[in-house]
Amino acid sequence: MESSQPLKKEGIYEENGILFVRGADYIERIASALASKTRLEILKLVREKELDIGEIAEKIGQSKANASAQVKRLEDAGLVKTGYKPGQRGVKKVCWSNIREVRIILE
């Protein structure tokens, strides 16, 4: 294993682009977030490049409201990070991810 498992207790932890998940509730949260083709597409897009919600919506062919809801599910699971940057009219929410692997610890 290229990384020591940082997981001594239940939870979700990120180390060097690897998301470690232990515990039934946490595994369910990750599995649920990854169970959508739309969310998987968003995850792939934001791994390649930081995007704002409008750009994500355009790329996946859905409304900004739906794109935002999908990003929220990914964020709650720890798969993406979000922040705010100045836009043309106010601020815009941006999304990115450096997660390249998810490891589920079953013990």
For position 99, which CATH number holds? 1.10.10.10
Amino acid at 44: K
Burial class (CB in 10 A: 0-12, 13-18, 19+), 21: buried
Position 4 in a domain: no
Position 63 in a domain: yes
CA 95 from chain center: how many Å? 9
Domain that holds residue 81: 11-105
Helix 37-48, helix 64-76: angle, nearest 10 = 80
- Predicted model pTM: 0.86
Position 2 in a domain: no
Contact 70, 77 (CB under 8 A): no
d(CA 68, CA 29): 18
* 2-48 tens-digit pLDDT: 445 555 689 999 999 999 999 999 999 999 999 999 999 999 999 99
Position 85 in a domain: yes
DSSP conformation letters of 70-84 = HHHHHHHTTS-EEEE
Position 50 in a domain: yes
Position 1 in a domain: no
* 53-102 tens-digit pLDDT: 999 999 999 999 999 999 999 999 999 999 999 988 889 999 999 999 99
Burial class (CB in 10 A: 0-12, 13-18, 19+), 65: exposed
Number of domains in the chain: 1
d(CA 27, CA 20): 10
